[in-house]
Structure formats: structure tokens, C-alpha cells
Amino acid sequence: MKNVATILKENNLSVTAGRQKILQLFLNSGGALAHADIEKNAGAHFDRVTIYRTLQAFVDKGLIHTIPSTDNTIKYALCKNDCSEGHHHDHHVHFVCDICHNTYCLDDVVTPKINLPKGYLSSELEVVAKGVCKNCHS
């Protein structure tokens, strides 16, 4: 696995302590992270605005993608290799656990193709499934 400095350089991002720390949080997480998760785990020296700017830079470069949530917040997860600057190709289902409230990318579950009526052009399709994750299922 590449180190965080290499990933940032390959995506033409400045290698700063903040970007390295936040990217490492994503690499260490098993699922999606909300801004609050990052704020809590990044340390006291990261302000809210720096975190937002870092997340937006990562989205713009195709490092992470956004996931809608039912409470109108946004979560973020690492993109796979086929995303690039300005082009996200995360055509998978996201799963939100009703018990632990974690959000997971189900990379092996592809979003369905939809046939829109004439005159409609889709730029993105987001599918969120809810239930009990494999960690909480007993």
C-alpha cells in the first residue's frame, strides 16, 4: 500500500500535516467518516474550516466520494482506483447499519441501471440500503 505522502503527491496535492492525518484516518477506517468523526479523531489543532477544505480537495481529486445520509449530513469514503479528478465512478451501494450507524461501501453490489424518461439526463445515482451490518448481526 502506498503511503499518504505518495498518494497526495500523485494527486497533485500539497503534502501537509493536516492532509496526511485526514487521509490516514480514511485509510485506517473500515467505512465512511462524517466531518464530526474526522474532527474528533484528527486532533485539537485542526479547525473545522481546514477539515472542510481538505475534504473538498480530496473529493475534487477523486480520492474520496460523498455519501448522503438520512439526517441530511454527508459522509465520505475512499474512492477506488477508477476515480480521478472530476470523475467519480463509485457505482456501488452504500449500507447504513441501524444498530451501529456505520456506513459501508458495498463495492460488490453495483447500482442498478435506471431508464429515465425522455428529456432527463442523470449525472449520478446514489443507492443507500439500511438494515443490520454483518458486525451487528448475531
Model confidence over 77-93: pLDDT tens digits?
A: 888 766 655 555 567 78
Q: Could you tell me the CATH number of the domain that includes residue 44?
A: 1.10.10.10
Q: Is 78 a domain residue?
A: yes
Number of domains in the chain: 1
CA distance 42 to 23: 10
What is the tens place of the pLDDT at every residue in 93-126?
888 889 988 888 787 877 788 899 999 988 777 7
List the single range of 66-70, 89-93, 102-106, 133-137 with lowest mean pLDDT: 89-93
pTM tops 0.85 = no
Determine the pLDDT at residue 24. Answer: 93
CA distance 44 to 78: 23
**Domain of 96?**
4-131
C-alpha cell at 67: 455519501
Q: Are 13 and 62 in contact (CB under 8 A)?
A: no
Q: Is 136 a domain residue?
A: no
Q: Is 138 a domain residue?
A: no
Q: Is 137 a domain residue?
A: no
Q: Is 50 a domain residue?
A: yes
> Taking residues 129-134, what's their average pLDDT?
91
